[in-house]
Amino acid sequence: MSFQDKSIECSDCGAIFTFTARENKFFASKGLTNEPRRCPQCRKAKRQQRRGLSGDWTSYVNRAMLSREYR
């Protein structure tokens, strides 16, 4: 099986990004047959957004509230 560089249009911002043969091969080795839908920037932004909303910020607030209660 051979892999080739491929241009994909990001479903979020519409930018054309390259899904390289190397990434393609990496995906396939992980058993992933779906191509990425978003450019690397949008994928990164999504990850940070999700973490910001449900992770770090919430736990930070909870910690802050707890530490105040126990003092």
Residues that bind Zn ion (CB under 5 A): 10, 12-13, 15, 39, 42
Q: Least distance in Å: CB of 36 to Zn ion?
A: 10
Q: Which is nearer to Zn ion, 15 or 53 (CB)?
A: 15
CA–CA separation, 24 and 7 (whole Å): 12
State the nearest-atom distance from the C-beta of 70 to Zn ion, in Å.
44
Residues 6+ apart with CB under 8 A from 14: none
Dmax (CA) of the chain: 63
Quote the least distance from Cβ 10 to Zn ion, whole Å. 3
